[in-house]
Structure 1
């Protein structure tokens, strides 16, 4: 097992939309309040294709790169869904499952009920902090620094942005559990943001 850092993180301080996968309150910053239509293609996250957190000599570099590729792909699909408050037309379930997917689906249902969508970009700085591949179910832990500086939640009825709560950090830590399933795909099975940990 390779351990760079271990953090066990939790959060659910979601004010208006109750989203677990989203920044803690689904109320964002950045973007334009007149941006009421989803873009044809979502803006890429600032670290959509992160480099593996390993040196060239790291024997697990390729595995870490595969873990981060799946994690980043999940975020791309998640942002597509959050821009329209619906998973329809996305491949979110190709990358997220179990607790992570259930939480994202609850987020989307809450967003739809509250007439909110997401605009702007969400910054990421993910790295693999734990890797256990010599077991029946290979598992990795990804730690990510979430950046809300270009993030915004939009009220679709008014077309106006919803401000972040004053206590909401603009940068905070989140962790994801990623498992390699029988078909060889790495799947995000749990995602836990923690607004009490800044980064």
Structure 2
């Protein structure tokens, strides 16, 4: 009779999802198992999944750590590519911030997930919690404040305007352009942004400039 009851408890635990528990909860549960209590009973009373409790007891006997480690959402090679992308964007003068890194990571992560069906929920995107762990795994990346290129270096003066005009006139003549190649443009894109921004850059690199 006792064996049948334990089998029912085991089946119930196998079917249910595990709850939240701390490392201290796990250590206490393992201590109870070592003193002779049944795995199934301890699992049910502590909300620690039966299989987890069994595997952790095995790890404890082998001298392994009881700390719970979450597998990174992105493979280490993909994270390394993401670090290189951050460095490349910095080199070309378009540094990215935390939101940009998270957006790029989600672009890669969601592309790797299976297409949801009517019976499955769409995958959840990575969050700021993932970003903090990512930065912790890659100490080569550090928060920085971008420096605005001095106004004098991006100022359009009369000499520069004349040089551009004569260059364009020469190209129109050389390539025999007609009026169909003339486009109306405004100067919005050439207006400098005077505000500094929080970015992520390689640790030890020189000042991070943005246009």
Q: Is the helix fraction higher in 1 or 2?
A: 2
State TM-score, norm by structure 1.
0.23
- Higher RCO, 1 or 2 (CA under 8 Å, sep at least 6)? 1
Structure holding more strand per residue: 1
Structure possessing the higher radius of gyration over alpha carbons: 2
TM-score by length of 2: 0.22
